[in-house]
Chains A and B, each alone.
Chain A
């Protein structure tokens, strides 16, 4: 089970991203896309397809205990594409829905996209597979708290990338706790 977090500025510049592998057990979803295709067609685009069809496909890829391939290479591009593609849905939804936490705004095969929008129009986008509403909400609340603290830095603007090691560490710790 893996999670991808993106923090996007009001004009949709990515400021921070995080990939988190959850150790919590989850019900295994099915992979319709890759399993429906004949094996010969998946060879050329194997990386893309496994990413498109869900996180577990990627988990199996590094056989032999290598470093997980998520967060690099082709899978990464696909994950980014799904996250940014959901921005249209989010922007449409946030005009009519007053909640800050928008859960399950978009779905792409096994990926679910949840979003959190601060009043300053910062968007936190989380890609996750499997259902964990309370955890995701608690995680977003933590990230919000950390983001407000980052924002209070007078040298940080809403459009500068977040490079603080402490921020990164805190977000990771929160991801371990809630996701």
Chain B
């Protein structure tokens, strides 16, 4: 590097045609390829090792736990992290589903959108569809997605003093991001609802904003 800079000084002051100076080599790009060169379908079927994810997730939770006071705050932070995952996953998922079609479509009705989350999103993120989709009987604006054994919390045993914590807050964040993107703003939370068969059974509770309900009723049942 030092020698080449000396040469370039020389060639500035002297007539460059008299000396056959080596031209400074073209700066090599630091990375040979970048994301823009890659095909988005390349990693479509590849999977992440569960232990690698468990390690990463454990670090994420520890990092977050040091910076919060209280379980609600911790869940909120995990929700925000999930939101960041959700925006990306959903853009990629929709690209993979729609980019080859002649007229790519968005979902504008709420129930089909919920079905997409229940099956396609769950399959893209966890490799299997969610186990149930329910509508609250008491409240019109509440929906629930139920996973009997969420893969991301399989390696987690929650200590007794944090028993109300559900690390699926991350999943709730993902769902919230997808609903937001589709134009159905909602508050999404995760709750542990164990049964005797499924001690890890988790409910993702979706509480829609009033504007969504109004819009749905305005669009009617067609």
Contact = CB atoms under 8 A, between A and B. Distances in A.
Interface string B53-71: 0000000000000000000
Interface stretch (A12-20, A70-78, A146-154): A146-154
A152 B105 contact: no
Interface residues of A, number: 32
B104 A100 contact: yes
Contacts of A150: 35
Given A119-B94, A157-B84, A149 B104 contact: no
A144 interface: yes
B87 interface: yes
A151 B87 contact: yes
B141 interface: no
Interface string B90-114: 1110110011000111111000000
Interface stretch (A22-30, A36-44, A47-55, A90-98): A90-98
A118 interface: yes
B183 A101 contact: no
Nearest to B105: A98
B185 to A, nearest CB: 11
Contacts of A95: 108, 183, 215
B88 A152 contact: yes
Given A95-B108, A101-B104, A120-B87, A167 B94 contact: no
A10 B181 contact: yes
Q: Which of B104, B107, B108 has the most CB of A within 10 A?
A: B104
Interface of B: 34-36, 38, 40, 84, 87-88, 90-92, 94-95, 98-99, 103-108, 180-183, 215, 219
Given A99-B103, A167-B36, 5 more contacts: A95-B183, A100-B105, A117-B106, A119-B98, A151-B92
